[in-house]
Structure 1
Amino acid sequence: MSFTITLVLLLIQRVCSDSPIIETPWGRIRGMPADDGDYNMFLGIPYARVDPDNPFGAAKPVPKFTGIFEANNGTTICPQREEDSNEIRGTLDCLVLHIYVPEIAKNKLPVLVFIHGGFHDFGEGGPETYGPKYLVRHGIIVVSINYRLGPYGFMCLDIPEVSGNQGFKDQTMALRWIRENIELFGGDSNKITLYGQSSGAVSVEFHLLSENEKLYNQAIVQSGGTYVSKTTKSTNNTLPLLLASDLGFKTYDVHKALAYLKGIEVERVIESATKFKIQSSACIEKKFNGVEGFLYVDPITIKTLPKTKNLPLLVGITNAERLLIVFKRLTKNPLGYDPFRDLESYVPQHKMSQAYDIVRRFYIGDAPISTEVLQELIDFDSDFKYAYPSEQSVIRFLKSGAKLYHFMFSYSGGRNQLKVRDNITIGGAAHSDDVGYIFKTKRLRGKGSDVDFLVLDRMTKMWANFVKYGNPTPEITELLPIAWPVATTQQLNYLNIDQELSLGMRPFHNRFAFWDLFYLHYVNSARVFNNINLILLFVLGVLHCIV
C-alpha cells in the first residue's frame, strides 16, 4: 500500500512540475501537458462572465483569480440541446476559451482562433470536439472559444438591457482578451487568424462587417457566410413574453418577463425555446446610449467591407453541402419531400408557381422527385442553401479588395465525420465533413486510412501556412505540389481538395449563372448581387439550359 501511495505522489509531482504556469493580469494560470502531442493545454480560461441579473444581456469582466487558476477543464458548454445526444445541458458559467501552445516555441507564434458551428444553437469549442493535435504540430498556437447560444446569445429586443447579438459580443470579448493576452502564452498579437466553420463562418463574416474594431489580421470562412439563408432577423419583444408564458408566468411587460426568466433553470428555458423553434441568428440592433452594439444595418445591403481591404482570406465550401439532409429526408419520406418548396421563403407569392417550375426543370427536368435524381436534388439544395450564397460572399470580399484564396473540399473518405456518423456511403463531401481533416474529434477515434491522413496532412499544412504567411502554399513541396493562386473577380481561381489537389476556375459556373439570373428576376433585390455584366453574358446560355 505504501508503495502505491508513493507512486501516486511521484506521478502527481511529475504532472505538477511539467505543468506550465502563466502570469496574467488576472492572476496565475496553470496549464497541463497534452497526452497526444508536444504541446501544452490551457483549458477553460474565463474571458468574461454572464451577468446573473441579466443573463440575456451584456457580459461582464472577469474578476481576478484567488490563487492559481487550474486551466484543466475542457468540458464546459453553454446551455443548449446537444446535437448528438439531444440532451439539454450546460451552464451560463461558460464564457471560456482554450489555448494550445507548442512546447518547441522559441519566438512569438502566429495564432489561429476558432469559432465553432452549430446554427448558434449548439456546439462548444472543447478539445474532445476540436482537438488541436494536427494543427499545433505545424508550429502555431490554436485557441477555441465558447459563446452564448440560443435565446441567451441571440435574443434581440428593443430595449438597451437586451439589444441583441450577445453571442457575437461574447466572441468580441474573447477576441479582445486574446489580443491583449496571447503574448503571455507565446503568441503574436499581430498575427491572429480568425477561423469559423458553418455558423462559425457566419460569425467570422459578421465580424468582418461589424462596426467593432478589427481584432485579427486575416480570416478563414468555411462553409458559411452572411448570404446563407436566415442569418438575420428583426428585433422581437414578444419572445420573452412567449417564453415566460410557456414557463408559467403571463405578462405583457418585457422587463417583468425577463426578471422572471432569469430565475428559471437554463434547461427549461432552452427546452421552451426549442419547442417554439426560435431562430438563433443575428439581428439589426437599435442604437442606445452607453450600449455597445454589433450590427446596425442589414449586412446584405453592405456592398463593400472596409475591414477586408488587403486582408488575406481563405474561403470555401464542400462540394455537396446538403448531402446528408437531402439523403435522409428523401429516404425517410420519398412521397412528401420537395426541396424546391423552400423557394417560397424568397420568391413573392404571385411569382412562386413560375419560379418553382423553372428551378425544378433546370435541376431535374420533368422527372419525379425520387432517389433516381438524388444527386440533382443534392445539387439544388446545396446551391440554394450554401454554395451560391457563399459565392456571393466571395465576390463581395474580392470587390472589397481582399487577398482571397478560394477552395472546394470534394474528398469522400473515412474521416468525413458526418457521413461516418450517419453511416452514409454515397459520394461527395457533406457539410462539416471537412472538419475531420483539420481537427482531432471524438467522433473519429480510430478512423482513417493512409489516404485520409494524406488529405489531413495537406489540409492542416495549408491552413497552418495560411496562418503563418497569409499564403497556404508559399512553396512547392512533395506534400503540396501545387501553387494555390489567389482569386480575382476576373479569374475566380479555386483549389479543389480531393484525393489529389487540382486547380479550377469559377466553381459550378453554369449553375451559379442560373442563380444570378434567378435572383435578378424573382427576388426583387432581396439580396445584393454583384457582377451584372456576368448575368447579361450568361442570359442566353441559361435560357438555353432551361429549355
Structure 2
Amino acid sequence: MNYTGNEDCLFINVHTPKMPCVRKNNVLPVMVWIHGGGFTFGSGNDDEFGPDYLIEYDVIIVTFNYRLGVLGFLSLGNSDVPGNAALKDQNLALKWVHDNIKNFGGNKYQITIFGESAGSASVHYQTLSPLSLGLFQNVIMQSGCSISNWAFQENPIQAAFNLGKVLGFMDINVGNLVSFLREQSSEILILNQRKKFDPEIGEETSFLPCKEIPGTGKNFLIEDPETVLKSQQFADVSYIIGITDKEGILMLPEIVGEPEKLIKVTGDENLKKNIPRSLCNGCDKMDSIVADVKKFYFNDSKITWENISLYVDLATDVLFTAGVKRTIDYLSVKTSVSVYVYLFTFEGKLGDTKSHISKLIDNLPKGAAHADDLGYLFHRIIIDDLTISKKSHEVKTIKRICTLWTNFAKLSDPNEENFGVIWKKYNSKSPQYLDIGYTLKTVDSDLLPNRTEFWNNAYSLYVKSNE
C-alpha cells in the first residue's frame, strides 16, 4: 500500500454553472457527492470526479474529502476516541453546505446527497444519524449500503489493539494505547493499518464505521445500522438506490493467474466470512447456509475460469445485492419516503473498472462491473485519451443518467417525459426497477429476482430459526 495525501484533508469543492451575481435571485438545486474507496482510499477531487457532465443540467455540484482508514475510523469506545470521525467529517461538510451554499447561488432546501460504493454506504449512514437530520432532501445510493459486511466494524477496539501490536504495543490499557498511537506519524499508521499482527492466525484489520457508546461525546451512531433500519428511525426523504449487474467482476484481479486463490475464495471458509452478518452472526446454521449457497450458485460444481461467471454472480450478491435489496425492503415499509430502484447494465468504453480488468483477464462475463457507472456521471482524467463520438451509446448514456439524477435533485422525481419510460416508485407488492442499459426500460420485478428471492428465503429460514 502506498501513502499519498494528507490528514489535513477537509476541503470542499463547489462547482457552479454560473456565478450568483449572474443568476440574481434564481437559486439552484445542489448535489453533494461523497466519494468511495473502501473507506480507505480515494478523494473527491476533480481528476476523479469532474463535474463537467452534471453541471450542464443547471445544478451545483459539491465534492469534498474526509479522513480515511485508521485516521477516520479508529475507535476505542471512549470520549477520547469514540469513533466515526470520518462520518462526522461528512456531517460537518453537509452542515457547511446547508449554511453557506446560498453564497454560491444554491438552495439549501434542495440538497441531494449521493455516492458510490463506500460513498454510497456513507450516504446511507447520513440518513441514519440524527446529527444529519434536515441537511438534505434527496438521497442517491449507488452500489453500497450500511448493512453490507464490508461497511461496518463490530469490534473496533480489537482492531485498534491489533494495529498497536503490529507497531510493537503489547499493553492492554486503552489510555496507554491512545498515547502510543498519537506518537506515531500518520504515514506509519496508514502504512500499517491493514497488516496482520499474527500472519498465522490474525485477521486483516479494517477500520470502518461502528456503533458508538452513548455519552462518548456527540455521537453519530449509537446502534448498529440494521437496528436503526428496523426501527424506521431513518430520514424521511426520497431515495434512488441500485447496483450494477456484474459488481463482482471487481474481485477477479485478486485471483487471476493463481488457481489456488480461486479454490480458496470459493471454499467454505471464505464463503462463511462473506455470508451477510445479519443472516447468521454467530449462529450454528452456518454450514447449512454455505451448503445452500454452493448449491444455488455453483450447483455443486467446481469453479474454473470457464465458469467464472458463477463466482461473479455470487460475489455481486454477497457484497452488494443482498444488502441493497434488504435496504430497499426497509425503506419501502416507511410510507413517508419514496424509493426508486435501478439496475445499471450498460457496458461501454467509459466503464473504466471493467476496461482495466479486461486487460488482465480474457472473456470477462458480460455486464457492468462495480463502479462502471461513474464514467457516465463524472468526467474522469483516467479516460481522457478515449475518443467518444457524440452519437455514441456512451454519450447517450451520459445524457440519460445525468438527466435522471438531476431531475431527481430538482423535483424528487427522476422521470423525464422525453425518455418514453415511466420509472415508478418501488412497491413491494408490485416491484419495478429501471434497467439503465443501451436503452432505458422498466422491469416489473425485483432486482435480479431469482437471486434476491434466494436471499429472502434464506433470511426467512435461518433468521427465524435462530431467534
TM superposition score normalised by structure 1: 0.75
For 2:378, give the aligned amino acid.
Answer: F
> Is 1:126 aligned with 2:60?
no
| One of 244, 251, 256 as aligned partner of 1:325 | 251
Match of 1:217 in 2: 137
Q: Does 1:412 align with 2:347?
A: yes
Matched, 1:312 2:247: no
Match for residue 7 of structure 1? none
Q: Among residues 348, 360, 374, which one is paired with 2:308 in the alignment?
A: 374
Shift of 1:132: 0.5
User: 1:47 maps to which residue?
Assistant: none
Matched, 1:166 2:81: no
- Which of these residues, 198, 209, 214, is aligned with residue 282 of structure 1? 209
Q: How many angstroms does 1:377 deviate by?
A: 1.8
Whether the 8 Å CA contact 2:240–2:339 is kept in 1: the answer is yes
CA gap of 1:471–1:237, structure 2 versus 1, over 3 A, is: closer
Give the counterpart letter for 2:243 in structure 1. Answer: I
For 2:257 and 2:175, how far apart are their aligned partners in 1?
46
- In 2, the alpha carbon distance for the partners of 1:413 and 1:233 equals 35
Counterparts of 2:151 and 2:234 in 1: how far apart (Å)?
20
Residue 384 of structure 2 corresponds to residue 462 of structure 1: no
Which of 62, 66, 90 is residue 5 of structure 2 equivalent to? 90
Is the deviation greater in 511-520 or in 495-504?
511-520
Contact 1:326–1:381 (Cα < 8 Å) also in 2: no
1:471 aligns with 2:413: yes
1:257 partner letter:
L
Give the Cα–Cα distance (whole angstroms) in 1 for the partners of residues 221 and 466 of structure 2. 18
The one-letter code matched in structure 1 to 2:317 is D
The structure in which a higher percent of residues are strand is 1
Q: Percent identity?
A: 29
Q: Answer yes or no: is the 8 Å Cα contact 2:162–2:205 preserved in 1.
A: no
For the pair 1:339 / 2:339, whether they are aligned, the reply is no
Query: Which protein has the larger Cα radius of gyration, Structure 1 or Structure 2?
Result: 1
The alpha carbon displacement at 1:211 in A equals: 2.3
Q: Which residue of 2 aligns with 1:23?
A: none
Kept in 2: contact 1:343–1:352 (CA 8 A):
no
2:34 alignment partner AA: I
Whether the 8 Å contact between 2:247 and 2:370 is mirrored in structure 1 is: yes
Over 3 Å counting, the alpha-carbon distance change for 1:352 and 1:236 in structure 2 is closer
State the AA in 2 paired with 1:274.
R
Contact 1:241–1:257 (8 Å) recurs in 2: yes
Q: Could you tell me which of 383, 392, 401 is aligned with 1:444?
A: 383
Which 10-residue stretch deviates more, 382-391 or 327-336? 327-336
**Secondary structure of the residue that 2:435 maps to in structure 1?**
strand
Distance 1:522 1:176, change over 3 A: same
CA distance in 2, matches of 1:156, 1:260: 14
Instruction: Give the Cα separation in 2 of the matches to 1:526 and 1:206.
Output: 27
Structure 1 equivalent of residue 296 of structure 2: 362
CA contact (8 A) 2:329 2:428 kept: yes
CA contact (8 A) 2:283 2:466 kept: no
What is the match of residue 15 of structure 2? 100
CA distance, structure 2, for counterparts of residue 350 and residue 394 of structure 1: 28
Moved over 6 A (4+): none
Alignment of structure 1 residues 381-420 onto 2, 5 Å: 381-401=315-335, 402-420=337-355
Return the offset for 1:235.
4.9
1:476-497, Cα deviation, whole Å (9 max, x unpaired): 21xx232222111212211100
Superposed, which structure 2 residues align to 1:107-256 within 5 Å? 107-212=26-131, 213-248=133-168, 250-256=170-176
Report the number of matched residues.
Answer: 437
Name the SS for the 2:30 alignment partner: strand
* Separation of aligned partners in 2, 1:520 and 1:443: 44
Q: Distance in 2 between matches of 1:363 and 1:109?
A: 47
Bigger shift: residues 265-274 or 418-427: 418-427
**Structure 1 residues 498, 238: closer, same or farther in 2, change over 3 A?**
closer
1:270 corresponds, among 180, 186, 190, to 190
Using the alignment, how far apart are the partners of 1:215 and 1:204 within structure 2? 12
Q: 1:453 aligns with which of 395, 398, 418?
A: 395
Residue from 453, 457, 461 that aligns with 1:513: 453
SS of the residue corresponding to residue 89 of structure 1 reads coil
Q: Larger relative CO (CA 8 A, sep 6+): 1 or 2?
A: 2
User: 2-side partners of 1:175 and 1:388: how far apart?
Assistant: 29
TM-aligned CA deviation for residue 359 of structure 1: 1.8
Aligned to 2:33, the other structure's residue is in SS state strand
Cα distance in 2 between the residues matched to 1:336 and 1:364: 13
Q: Deviations over 1:480-530 (max 9, x none)?
A: 232222111212211100011111021221221111112232356889xxx
Structure 1 residues without counterparts, runs of 5 or longer? 1-85, 528-547
1:61 is aligned to none
Please report how far the alpha carbon of residue 225 of structure 1 lies from its aligned counterpart in structure 2 after TM superposition.
Answer: 0.5
Structure 1 residue 428 corresponds to structure 2 residue 367 = yes
Rounded Cα–Cα distance in structure 1 between residues aligned with 2:290 and 2:312:
16
Q: Report how far residue 383 of structure 1 moved.
A: 1.4
CA distance in 1, matches of 2:438, 2:465: 40
The match for 1:299 is 225
